[in-house]
Homo-oligomer: A and B are copies of this chain.
């Protein structure tokens, strides 16, 4: 048993040796993804897709609760439509896939595979919004998008990914701003409560905002290795696209006005984020709310009379309250322990002849391997409680990681030595607001600006780079 266990664990690279290889080992060994002959795209396998379905379901509930409706827009965008908003086309054209032929016929106008759907939503809204009575329109779409990335990595950066994109239009800038903030808050709450992942909310600098946006807001998470990951974005467009696409409405005074617009999105990247936030050298550690299997039941000494029957009975009973499965294969218990640790199943339930005799079972937490002998009489309550505890514990662990790896720096040299001595993390440092300084910090220290956090502190009065008066505290990091 111990041998088997050891063998499994040895199959993945240790995080401390090579975090990048640990990550790709885990996504492969935990059966989340596979590769194919389609370069830069991934196959999302059943276990990975089940996580995405749970993310989708719980996000979608939140979108609907805030009044949003789902729609489906075409996959393709004609080149002329993509070109209507100048900043937008400049941002996206270099990284789109172009369709040039339908069957054997060349197309009159080539079309790109959507990298994002602002242009299509704009055209549609221009078509269906006429009066203030038609506003707001609060639409969302779940779909695939394509961006022709040069270097790819499962979940984190791939040529095709799955996401949701919310697109809304409003009568006033205030309403659109409120929507932008509301959805950023929905994302942050979701990351914290469902993915057990702490995030920092903030605004992107001018150089880093979405192509065509007035302002881009984001949530940034810190991975176990101290690199940052942008987990979600929410954009305020003002009337920029509205002017380009002639999206107008008649207000109560019968005047023509441009609509005010937002968009916001999260992607299958979130799966990458939760792997790198919670995983360890035994594999995945899944947040209970998105774990496809929350409890795996493992019969011990399964050949003994009554063991399999009891395992079946418990599976049926627990399936009423949890996502549960029993592994009744003839693999060794040790192999199974390692397998479900690799897969990050939050709780393992062991049931053997002695346990049955004592009307109990053994529960083992994935995150800290703590063992609990639990009476079968109040099993549901115990499991519920342990799943909650586990969720809180992995959140606390990730938050502690973020705290330990957040460094306040007052000079370029301090940033350089913090990185050298303490490793990657969030660098907090003051900034004058000039793009030249942002670029210089990146060039000299290697960390880029991630966001201007909403929660500002005055670390010093001057810019970390030029020494002129500081405008903002910025979060800097090396990012995925």
Q: CB within 8 Å of B: which residues of A?
A: 34, 36-38, 41-46, 49-50, 52-53, 69-78, 80-81, 93-104, 111, 113, 120, 123-124, 127-128, 139, 143-144, 146, 148, 159-160, 162
Complex contacts, A123 vs chain B, CB 8 Å: 36-37
Name the one of B50, B104, B113 contacting A99, with C-beta atoms under 8 angstroms: B113
B103→A41 contact, CB < 8 A: no
Contacts of A78 in B (CB 8 A): 37-38
Do residues A120 and B75 form an inter-chain contact, with CB atoms below 8 A? no
- In the assembly, what is the distance between CA of A226 and CA of B335, in Å? 60
Distance A407 CA – B460 CA, assembled complex (angstroms): 88
Question: Among the interface residues A97, A127, A162, which one has the most CB atoms of the partner chain B within 10 A?
Answer: A97
Q: For residue A123, which residue of chain B has the nearest CB? A: B36
New A-B contacts (17) at CB < 8 Å, excluding given A38-B77, A49-B71:
A36-B123, A36-B124, A37-B123, A41-B74, A41-B75, A43-B73, A44-B71, A49-B72, A53-B70, A75-B113, A96-B103, A97-B101, A97-B102, A98-B99, A98-B101, A103-B148, A144-B144
* A71 B99 Cβ-Cβ under 8 A: no
Complex Cα gap A110–B341 (Å): 41
The chain B residue sitting closest to A69, CB to CB, is B46
Pick the contact of A38: B36, B52, B97, B120 (CB < 8 A). Answer: B120
The binding surface of chain A is classed by DSSP as mixed
- In the complex, A103 Cα to B44 Cα: how many Å? 25
Q: Select A46's contact among B71, B74, B127, beta carbons within 8 Å.
A: B71
Chain B contacts of A49 at CB under 8 A? 69-72
> By the criterion CB–CB under 8 Å, are A103 and B95 in contact?
yes
A80→B128 CA distance, assembly (Å): 43
Please determine whether B71 and A43 come into contact, CB atoms closer than 8 angstroms: yes
CA–CA, A38 to B110, complex, Å? 11
- Which residues of B sit under 8 angstroms from A113, Cβ to Cβ? 75, 99, 113
List the 7 closest A-B pairs by CB distance, nearest first: A41-B74, A46-B69, A102-B148, A44-B72, A38-B74, A98-B101, A100-B100
Chain B residue nearest to A53 in the complex (CB): B70
- Smallest CB–CB gap between A270 and chain B, Å? 15
